[in-house]
Amino acid sequence: MVGLRGVGKTVLLDRMRRDAEGTGIQTLRVEAPEGRSLPAIVAPQLRQALLRLSRNEQAKDMAERALRALAGFAKSLKVKYEDIEVGFDFDPEPGLADNGDLEHDLQALLESAGVAAQKAGTAMVIFVDEIQYVEEEELAALITALHRTAQERLPVMLVGAGLPQLRGRMGRAKSYAERLFDFPEIGPLSPEAARLAIAKPARDQGVDVTLEALDCIVTETRGYPYFVQEWGKHAWDVAEASPIARKDVEVASKAAIAALDESFFRVRFDRLTPAERKYLRAMAELGPGPHRSGDIAGELGREVTSLGPTRNQLISKGMIWSPHHGDTAFTVPLFDEFMRRIMPGDDWAT
């Protein structure tokens, strides 16, 4: 069981899922958006996986039993989680995953699914992106269920990708989570990897990129994979001939930043309350970070304790995280520069 955290996580998650599917493993691919329950996003994908398993002669009976467990699970929890929508292929089996208690029922459901996968000689892997948005009670139930399948040596695994606060959230949900999961951190690309990510695809198209241009992209993007893509795209569009030179990247940087401001950064900014915007603007005033909570409070002329709720909400929204106790950092690079552009001057502090 693995919990990924950091930049480039979604790309890696999808690659791992495709590799798993290539070996015949049953996979569930879900994204945990804000405002939707875990049962709602998992149930339809689990149904599809179980229907596939039911076509395996060795697993047919156990897969059909798991589908009956899924029917009982969904019907019993429909009252609490009104967003559950899943088709029923079999009638529920009384007493199987139908108590109406998520923690108990999810254990029974994943055990049934694990037995079916085991009978088929395969495994079932649940891939969950943005797992930090799963409510803590639901996350605790999922961890408990996976702990149970691990104890029973059933081939059920979770690969979850989330923002850096993921380890702390899982630890709060269940204290033994850090023993149950691995938490590899996916950081920015190294300078060498970032250069290769630009140079190789360009070279494949018969276009060279000068070392100075590559170094400029590395500096501008801080190695953040999505930004590397954006700078590469705009540099390609700007350049009139091979090789792509530093001057092309310098022109492209303006277009890349404008594109990020209009979409990537703006989407995040529009989700913020006025108080949250002021908090992030105070962070931006201090620079890229990380910053001590006391320094941020000082910029706002407030006591640290009074800003606790705002800070916690920003962590929940995935805007900031705490790399160390008392420290606060942006979850994406260059956001401090965006905040200074969109909230210029000193009026924000009043």
Write out pLDDT tens, residues 117-129: 999 999 999 999 8
Distance between CA atoms of residues 167 and 132, nearest Å: 9
CA neighbor of 249 nearest in space, from 294, 212, 204: 212
Amino acid 3: pLDDT = 45
Does the pLDDT of residue 7 top 80, yes or no?
Answer: no
With a cut of 90, say whether residue 206 has pLDDT above it.
yes
Most confidently modeled range among 23-37, 77-91, 115-129, 167-181: 115-129
User: What is the share, in percent, of the chain residues with pLDDT greater than 70?
Assistant: 97
Whether 79 shows a pLDDT value over 70: the answer reads: yes
Residue 249, CA distances (Å) to 125, 207, 217, 278, 302 in order: 42, 14, 7, 32, 42
**pLDDT range class, residue 221, cuts 50, 70, 90:** very high
Average pLDDT on 51-80 reads: 94
pLDDT tens column, 251-276 = 999 999 999 999 999 999 999 999 99
> Based on the number of CB atoms within 10 Å of its own CB, is 104 exposed (0-12), middle (13-18) or buried (19 or more)?
middle
> Which pLDDT score, from 0 to 100, does residue 1 have?
44
Q: Tell me the C-alpha distance between 12 and 91, whole Å.
A: 38
> Domain 191-268, CATH 1.10.8 — does that match?
yes
Residue 4 has pLDDT above 60, yes or no: no
Instruction: Report the DSSP beta bridge partners of residue 124.
Output: 26, 156
Residue 2 has pLDDT above 80, yes or no: no
**Domain 2-186 is found in CATH 3.40.50:** yes
For the chain, give the mean pLDDT: 91
Span 4-20, mean pLDDT?
A: 71
Q: Which fold has domain 272-349?
A: Arc Repressor Mutant, subunit A (1.10.10)
Taking residues 134-158, what's their average pLDDT? 94
Q: Give me the mean pLDDT over the 296-313 stretch.
A: 94
Residue range(s) occupied by CATH 3.40.50 in the chain: 2-186
Span(s) in the chain for CATH 1.10.8:
191-268
Give 277 or 24, the one with higher predicted confidence: 277
Q: What are phi and psi of 156, to 5 degrees?
A: -120, 130
Bridge partners of 329, per DSSP, are 321
pLDDT band of residue 145 (cuts 50, 70, 90) is very high
